[in-house]
A and B are shown apart, each in its own frame.
Chain A
């Protein structure tokens, strides 16, 4: 349970990081370390080089933009948790953050690290998916942007190339009175969610849903948008058994078997978590929460 030997680099600028990534073989970027350090201790990963991002300048900030906010990749989860801007404009993220591990891990864990590690049950991954975030990466040819829908490419694998690093994430905000909810099912508070649901809703004056985003986490190899469910919701004012029936479509989403739960259990949870999140979000959107 000790990290394997490696060379350690602690660059001060993004340009230096890009330079190191271009020259070093088998290098790993170390952000908050709340996933990579356990993997090193277990020796699941054995990099020849660790590039520590904790001393790189200018990567930790939360900035309001014209249409939402931009967050630096090395911003700690704890700083998002206590950000007034996040609480006011991105209440979904504010609600989700309380379920990320524990205080001790949120103090170190970063948003960029969480997104790049891309655990399918990670709360910030689900938030980025639901909010249609844009990810900014820096590489040898300068910066490029990736829409979050294109960001997950495989299990624990993002579209960030081995010679690039994630520098910032842009989140467009939803209108002031939108409905939101993040719910998850885990065996204990702070554990990895077996299934989570993140929901955003816009509702018109007559109570009809005009816009919906629903993401399920923990199901398969990456976060999934429940696009069939989203379409079913548009134009409807949920009452009676409508949500329960609409959420049945989540039972057909792809899911994995593992030691925590079989696929069929995850699919059942997907119907329950999505319904609970939608009920909560709708109540909030219509001022009844």
Chain B
């Protein structure tokens, strides 16, 4: 094992203090050291988008960051999206009901990317959704049902916000 550092990081609201090898990517740290295997690794060079997480609320590719860079920061992975163990997030529910996934490999990256996108753009057009997920590769769906899911999720999130207001 090479050079290590102690880091403190909050993932899905839970604080972890861990020793990490400095060359380990954030993606490998999340998967292997924290055991949160919902974050998927497809290409490991920033092309496929499967490893997308939210870093301080902003989407980022965890294969293009070092774990040591996360010291003192907050991370949200796909495991942290749902409000509870028995209830899906409206975005997840929309994917579930609209066949937004087949093999599911790209789904964690799609969901994290769309969480940020729908937060900033709650009423998107189809074209805007397509551009938003342009950095996430899916080899099953042809994207059509992912786009439908995202647009449906926007409606659900708006209805939910209206209900709370």
Contacts and interface: CB of A to CB of B under 8 A. Distances in A.
Contact of B113 (A2, A42, A52, A104): A104
A78 interface: yes
Which of A34, A37, A103 has most B Cβ within 10 Å?
A: A103
Q: Give the residue among A4, A41, A50, A190 with the most B Cβ atoms within 10 A.
A: A41
26 contacts: A1-B44, A2-B23, A2-B28, A7-B3, A8-B3, A33-B65, A37-B25, A37-B46, A37-B63, A37-B66, A38-B64, A41-B45, A50-B66, A52-B66, A52-B68, A103-B116, A104-B59, A104-B60, A104-B61, A104-B135, A107-B55, A107-B58, A107-B60, A108-B55, A188-B134, A189-B134
B8 interface: no
Interface of A: 1-8, 10, 30, 33-34, 37-38, 40-42, 50, 52, 54, 78, 101-105, 107-108, 188-190
B113 A103 contact: yes
Contacts of A3: 23, 25, 66
A6 B22 CA distance: 8
Contacts of A7: 3, 22
A58 to B, nearest CB: 18
Contacts of B25: 2-3, 37, 41
Interface in B51-73: 52, 55, 58-61, 63-66, 68-69
Interface of B: 2-3, 5, 22-25, 28, 44-46, 49, 52, 55, 58-61, 63-66, 68-69, 113, 116-117, 131-132, 134-135
Contacts, number: 93
B98 to A, nearest CB: 22
Contacts of B2: 5-6
A277 B3 CA distance: 50
Given A6-B3, A8-B66, A104-B135, 12 more contacts: A2-B23, A4-B23, A8-B3, A34-B64, A38-B45, A103-B59, A104-B52, A104-B59, A107-B55, A108-B60, A108-B61, A108-B64
- Closest 8 pairs between A and B when the two form their complex, measured CB to CB: A102-B135, A8-B22, A1-B44, A38-B45, A37-B64, A5-B2, A107-B58, A3-B23
Given A52-B69, A103-B59, A41 B44 contact: yes
A190 B63 contact: no
Of A4, A50, A102, A104, most buried by chain B (CB within 10 Å of CB) is A104
Contacts of A34: 46, 61, 64
Contacts of B69: 33, 52, 54
B100 to A, nearest CB: 19
Nearest to B4: A8
A41 B24 CA distance: 10
A189 B131 contact: yes
